[in-house]
Amino acid sequence: MSEEQDKDKELLGKQKDDSVKAESSTAEKAEAAASQALDPEKGSSASVPGQPDQQEAKAAGDERILPESGEAHEQSVVSEQPAANPEREAKLKAAAEARAARAELKVSAATPSQQQSDAPAEEGSSPAVNPEREAKMKAAAEARAARAAAKAAAEGGEPAAAPGDAVGSDPEREAKQKAAAEARAARAAAKAASEAAEAPAEPKPPSPKQPQLDETVELVRSLISEQAVEEAYINELNDHMPIIVVGRDHWQATANLLRTHDRLQYGYLRNVSGIDFETHMEVVYHLVSIETKRELAVKLRADREAPSVPSATPVWATANWNEREIYDLLGVDFPGHPDMRRIMMPDEWVGHPLRKDYEPLDPEV
């Protein structure tokens, strides 16, 4: 956080002699940047209307981890107002207040020199061409203060979140994040409590395959283990294909369940793909049920150094050569596979060609 302050100081100090407008705009931008760094999960400024629907979908029970947008902190302000009336005026006012609090917070928390440079910035902007901007900045400072105060209230008065301390060392940021999480929970509760959705941002209609996904997840969780299913979501683009991410340790049991259980019966394994994300490897199994015509995709993640995923060959014989191909081209090991050999490349080949960091021995090839 201190770097941000230094940067602000530099910017403000450097442009002290410049035109007032430039100064105020820079300060505002720096402020926005600072506010962004302040709360990494909150996005752009509060006044952006029509937030993405993902927030609603998240609250509605989807379990995908997504970066939050700027609506989050607006919502947190809303939840603080016990009048559960998400009307735009109140919100905008609250947002403006939040912003003012923020600006004030920043100003008050700065080092004396910066305060001095800030103060002239504030003052210098008063004869600014745009009085609204100055009001906004003040409102932002106030809003930030209010937000920090709210967080402090939510946390139960942790001193780190006191309004006087905008700069954060890491533990403070963590605390803020925890507060944000709690605020999020509170917001979700508030939203669930209040029926009306925000006018410009409607919740997405639940996917038609959602019940199927829920049923699958519930069965796996209840019959195998609570930690078996790490994530579950619907891929809307792909004709609403349900996707579950399964932990590696539970994959054998889960595969058996998916194939044999009466309600699931995914007997036909269509495709096994391996994907090399640079941070981890992923193996995707696409299943379909011949009887009920339902589809499912199962993902397994493995780390990159020694990737290994238990083989699904005992369950679906289709996986045999598919897994050999993934082993050959990507290097993912499948313990439990009856015949783990290279399939496309010659047997003596060194390296796994489809990896992103593969260097061919012979560059001409």
Residues that bind another protein (CB under 8 A): 235, 237-239, 241, 267-271, 273-276, 284, 286, 290, 293, 297, 316-318, 320-322, 325, 329, 342-346, 353-354
Q: What's the closest the beta carbon of residue 153 comes to another protein, in angstroms?
A: 38
Q: What's the closest the beta carbon of residue 315 comes to another protein, in angstroms?
A: 9
Which among 243, 188, 182, 186 is positioned nearest to 210, based on CA atoms? 243
Burial of 46 (0-12, 13-18, 19+ CB in 10 A): buried
Which among 195, 264, 188 is positioned nearest to 224, based on CA atoms? 264
Nearer to another protein, 157 or 360 (CB): 360
d(CA 276, CA 356): 7
Q: What's the closest the beta carbon of residue 238 comes to another protein, in angstroms?
A: 4
Task: Provide the H-helix boundaries in the chain.
Answer: 2-14, 20-38, 54-59, 71-80, 88-109, 112-124, 131-155, 170-193, 210-223, 251-260, 319-330
Nearer to another protein, 222 or 292 (CB): 292
SS3 339: coil
- Per-residue CA distances from 167 to 5, 108, 121, 161, 173 (Å): 8, 10, 20, 10, 9
d(CA 241, CA 259): 18
Nearer to another protein, 150 or 281 (CB): 281
d(CA 103, CA 31): 7
Helix (H) or strand (E) holding 195: none
Nearer to another protein, 37 or 354 (CB): 354
Q: What's the closest the beta carbon of residue 299 comes to another protein, in angstroms?
A: 10
Q: What's the closest the beta carbon of residue 267 comes to another protein, in angstroms?
A: 5
Q: What's the closest the beta carbon of residue 200 comes to another protein, in angstroms?
A: 22
Residue owning tokens 């139960």: 156
SS3 253: helix
Q: What's the closest the beta carbon of residue 205 comes to another protein, in angstroms?
A: 16
Burial of 228 (0-12, 13-18, 19+ CB in 10 A): buried
Nearer to another protein, 70 or 274 (CB): 274
The residues, ordered by sequence, that sit 6+ positions from 190 with a Cβ below 8 Å of its Cβ are: 75, 78, 79, 84
Q: What's the closest the beta carbon of residue 59 comes to another protein, in angstroms?
A: 22
Q: What's the closest the beta carbon of residue 221 comes to another protein, in angstroms?
A: 24
Nearer to another protein, 216 or 322 (CB): 322
What would the two tokens of residue 166 be? 């905008």
Q: What's the closest the beta carbon of residue 296 comes to another protein, in angstroms?
A: 11
Nearer to another protein, 261 or 270 (CB): 270
Which among 187, 184, 179, 189 is positioned nearest to 154, based on CA atoms? 179
SS3 301: strand
Nearer to another protein, 114 or 320 (CB): 320
Nearer to another protein, 153 or 358 (CB): 358
Helix (H) or strand (E) holding 41: none
Nearer to another protein, 1 or 343 (CB): 343
